[in-house]
Amino acid sequence: MRYYVSNAFSLNMLERKSQIVQFLPCSVEQARLELEGCEVVSAIGHADTAAVVSATLGVSLPANRISIKLMPGDGLLVAQLVGPRLPEGATTLPEGASIEFWIVSVQ
């Protein structure tokens, strides 16, 4: 199974036909389990965000500004930054910031 990791969700990730999209919040531990044994593809466009998400998940996720189309069977893990913007060169979250993880599935 292919699993994309992104820091956002866009309607552009969907085909232009009727699809059901499900969003499930998850913990860091659940996010790690979702990625186990999968082909993981980074879709995180900014290096600092990729570094922080990589450190949080313990998975190498290089910055990779790509457009994706989610097909049935693909997985998407969204790492949503909550709080202040990351300062340039950040490798950890600044005070008052957190990452919320969401599992997105398409049918």
User: Is pLDDT of 7 > 90?
Assistant: yes
What pLDDT was estimated at residue 90? 80
Confidence category of residue 54, pLDDT binned at 50, 70, 90: very high
What pLDDT was estimated at residue 75? 94
Higher pLDDT, 16 or 1: 1
**What integer best gives the mean pLDDT of the chain?**
92
Q: Which domains does the chain have, with CATH numbers?
A: 2-9+18-106 (3.40.50.11170)
Distance from C-alpha of 70 to C-alpha of 104, rounded to nearest angstrom: 10
